[in-house]
Structure 1
Amino acid sequence: MAHLHTPLFAASVATVAAIALLAGCTSGGDTTEERQAAAGSVTFWTPQTTPERLAAQEAVAAAFTEETGIEVEVVPMAGADQDQALVTGAASGDVPDVILHASAQTAAWNSQGLLDTEAAAATVDTLGADTFNQHALEAVTVGGEVAAVPSDGWSHLIVYRADLFEQAGVEVPGSVAELAAAATTIKEQLGVTGLAFGTQAGSASATEGIQSLFQSAGCELVDDGEVTIDSDACVDAAEHFLELRNSSVAGDFDATSARAAYLNGDAAMLLFSTHILDELAGLDEANPVTCPECGASPTFLADNSEFITVLDEDHPAQYGAVLSYGIPTGANTAAAQAYIEYVLSTGYVDTLAVATEGRIPLRNGTADNPTEFIEAWGQLGIGAAQEKTTAELYGDEFVSQMADGINSIFLWGMGTDDAAIAGLVFSQGVLSGQIEQLYNGTSAAEVTAAMRRAVEDVQASL
């Protein structure tokens, strides 16, 4: 796979030292086989399972092996399959050495004693805790201890048509309340959907939409064990959510139809993940741009779209995903640490290039260059052919905006003892199951009270 980026970054001194120790480099005459035997090997589970992504990860692993003599087996395994496989492996004493996984899994696995938190914390210390996205570190901190090593993720952003904003005479919103007002004005004046986003009651898309907008409005699901989804801030958030939902001229959306509405030119704004970046520029054949102007000008949407990467500066809480490297209890710890240090330094840019739109660095840079990796991300190609970079398409300022957005990543309960209940509420779609009442005329106060009771039922089951 051809990537648009600068040469690989130099490994940290600590990583090189660890590798040397692992490889047993006591003499220059050791054979490759002898070094590998001394170092052991690494089994790496990854949820990045498409053929192209798997091949890119295998290339990074091969480069690590060439440098260290430590063999790496890259095993594709979806997140849903990792949970049972790890439990089964732990029972038999056969666990992988490194697992790339979601933050909700970090909390669950740690509670079961399945993660070597000391090894993870030591890896973060070696790389430098202050070089990481601090919110990402919070997401993998359980009981005051770092339980995994943040790698990369994606965040929600709002794409908006600058030309339609000008036509409607609306300003760029800086809060959920302003977003709702802008969406309503656009619908009334231009007859197009104000904001396209997931609103179908009971769906995963609505679950994401609710959490994304509620938390950006300063609403907390639970605070130190007390369910607070019916607070004044949450009632206001529910009212604005309804207004935003009603800004649609095409009924309720799921993620797929919301994206299509924006690509068709039928919506002035879209709440979506960073995966929209290549599609917006017409670089994804599976999701082509189809707006009326796009036939004559394929880059029309990219040229006329701008981004809000942090909706509310007073409540910088962008919904997103955090992927981290976990080291299971019983793993080949030293080799696992060396591998993680490698893929977060020397091999980091190639690792991000596996899927640039959805793999934004959670390690911003190094001690010597604090923005090294986020800047390098902006020079990576996006889309299947990876012919254009985000900086080329959207400008250097956008890369800085994305740094602000990913550094504001937030998930309810993360880094606290409330992470378990928040994860269950999300995975079970508890809030989206209640939202239809809001659509049917029930007051926001009554709906959030019903949400509270539903969350308390989940809490009681823990």
Structure 2
Amino acid sequence: MTHTFRPRIAASIAAVAVLGLLAGCTGGTAEETTEQTVTFWTPQATPERLAAQEDIAAAFTEETGIEVEVVAMAGADQDQALVTGAASGDVPDVILHASTQTGAWTSQGLLDTEAAAAVVDTLGQETFNEHAIEAVTLDDQISAVPSDGWTHVIAYRTDLLEQAGVEVPTSVTELAEVATTIKSELGITGLAFGTQAGTASATEGIQSIFQAAGCDLVVDGEVTIDSAECTEAAELFLTLRNSSVAGDFDVTSARAAYMNGDAAMLLFSTHILDELAGLDEATPATCAECVDSPTFLADNTQFVTVLDEENPAQYGAILSYGIPTGANVEGAQQYIEYVMSNGYVDTLGVATEGRIPLRNGMADNPTEFIDAWGALGIGPAHERTSVDLYGEEFVGGMAEGINAVYLWGMGTDDATLAGLVASQGVLAGQIEQLYNGAAAEDVTSAMKAAVEEVQASL
């Protein structure tokens, strides 16, 4: 039986939008615990998502007596605010943040890693996504508690692949062949994805395709973006880029091409799930068939969630809960344990299509949370579930995808370098050489030199 997300309770807590946060103290007795306040920073800041998180916090307060101040704060603002707060001894108690921040904050001594590791131990490390645990483990120490994330998927039109006479691709090599054939046979874009040189869209597109093809940016401190695997990945990336009939795409135009029926495949995040079904008024489906059938795209779309099943490395994002050094440890741990157990399904429902569980289930029910995720409503109004739209098998495919989530340098000393390369768009700044006819090996050599320049600055 499926259901849509409904807040546990109607009460809400006003968001605190100032940095003068209540300094935490470690509680001792149960009576002291009820007087604690937990300050929670979240990057999930749209009004509806903030309201949903406030409802979850209110449910926690009702259960424990611990008040929660929910503070909306973008990831870029979290970085500076945490450093400033740490200097003054005034820090939040829990921060929902990206995996790249986990590594940076841990290296700066800003996270209480022992407190976070204790939460994972209490919940059961074996119940978590293995790759997610790797992402937050630095120097053999778990530094944060993985919560949820998203991955890139290949959305493909089943009807158009059939018209072109091609099979569903199972590798980057096959993806490039299929995309090229579709352009030749149907005269439309084979694969729409971010390729505009120098943009964030291209940064994601490069990393997604390169790592799915077996390319590593850096291994044990050695920059390897010029390896044979990476050079082949560059050649495949160019083939995929050239499968477009409309030039280079950014994220918005790539999505629009697929939504308009002008592309047979789309490389995109799982946030596309509700949009394909016409559930997001801000991003309507515009294909000719969609006028009479609003769910035409969803009805004719399936997904490749893992491109290489033997060595899966799906580009994506991991959100984790961190406990800052100097926080109210007891209150923070109780709050994280709650939102990862009793409040977990409601937490995932804050933005279902972009918050796939990184804790798959409980010890006695290993798939409890991923199964519940499939029954949550998607889109702004949570009107329909992904199972309603894409079928029961879809949830299993999404579980395989999120269990294969990977980012270059993840869980290693190379994470800082990889994060800087991504944030500075280093590879996207080099890719235009490939478009202009430079040999793939020359381009990856130039990429290596650019990455080593960043490395030298660390």
Range of TM-score over shorter length: over 0.9
1:180 corresponds to which residue?
A: 176
- 2:183 alignment partner AA: K
2:418 corresponds to which residue?
A: 422
1:11 corresponds to which residue?
A: none
CA 1:409–1:168: 2 relative to 1, 3 Å? same
Deviation of residue 143 (structure 1)?
A: 1.4
2:38 corresponds to which residue?
A: 42
For residue 312 of structure 2, the aligned residue among 293, 313, 316 is 316
Q: Residues of 1 paired with 2:453 and 2:245: CA distance? A: 36
For residue 256 of structure 2, the aligned residue among 260, 275, 279 is 260
The answer to whether the 8 Å contact 1:154/1:273 transfers is yes
- 1:167 alignment partner AA: Q
Deviation of residue 355 (structure 1)?
A: 0.5
1:16 corresponds to which residue?
A: none
The answer to whether the 8 Å contact 1:210/1:432 transfers is yes
- Tell me whether 1:80 sits opposite 2:85 in the alignment: no
- Tell me whether 1:24 sits opposite 2:58 in the alignment: no
The answer to whether the 8 Å contact 2:260/2:285 transfers is yes
| Residue ranges of structure 2 left out of the alignment (5+ in a row) | 9-25
The answer to whether the 8 Å contact 1:23/1:36 transfers is no
- 2:66 alignment partner AA: I
- Tell me whether 1:404 sits opposite 2:409 in the alignment: no
Deviation of residue 144 (structure 1)?
A: 1.5
The answer to whether the 8 Å contact 2:45/2:72 transfers is yes
CA 1:431–1:257: 2 relative to 1, 3 Å? same
For residue 216 of structure 2, the aligned residue among 197, 200, 220 is 220
Deviation of residue 385 (structure 1)?
A: 1.4
Deviation of residue 296 (structure 1)?
A: 1.3
Q: CA-to-partner distance for each residue in 1:359-412, whole Å, 9 max, x for gaps?
A: 111110010100000000000001111110000100010001000000000000
For residue 342 of structure 1, the aligned residue among 315, 335, 338 is 338
- 2:110 alignment partner AA: L
TM-score by length of 1: 0.93
Q: Secondary structure at the match of 1:293?
A: helix
- Tell me whether 1:146 sits opposite 2:142 in the alignment: yes
Q: CA-to-partner distance for each residue in 1:90-126, whole Å, 9 max, x for gaps?
A: 0000000000000000000011100000001000000
- Tell me whether 1:277 sits opposite 2:277 in the alignment: no
The answer to whether the 8 Å contact 1:5/1:376 transfers is no
- Tell me whether 1:66 sits opposite 2:62 in the alignment: yes
Please, what is the CA RMSD of the aligned residues? 1.4
Aligned length: 439
Q: Secondary structure at the match of 2:151?
A: strand
Q: How does 1:307-456 map to 2 (within 5 A)?
A: 307-456=303-452
1:15 corresponds to which residue?
A: none
| Residue ranges of structure 1 left out of the alignment (5+ in a row) | 9-20
Q: CA-to-partner distance for each residue in 1:145-197, whole Å, 9 max, x for gaps?
A: 11000011100000000101111110111110100000000000000000000
- Tell me whether 1:290 sits opposite 2:286 in the alignment: yes
The answer to whether the 8 Å contact 1:42/1:98 transfers is yes
Deviation of residue 7 (structure 1)?
A: 10
1:299 corresponds to which residue?
A: 295
Deviation of residue 253 (structure 1)?
A: 0.1
The answer to whether the 8 Å contact 2:430/2:443 transfers is yes
Q: CA-to-partner distance for each residue in 1:334-354, whole Å, 9 max, x for gaps?
A: 110010000000000111110
- 1:384 alignment partner AA: P
Deviation of residue 22 (structure 1)?
A: 5.6
- Tell me whether 1:91 sits opposite 2:96 in the alignment: no
Q: How does 1:225-236 map to 2 (within 5 A)?
A: 225-236=221-232
Deviation of residue 297 (structure 1)?
A: 1.1
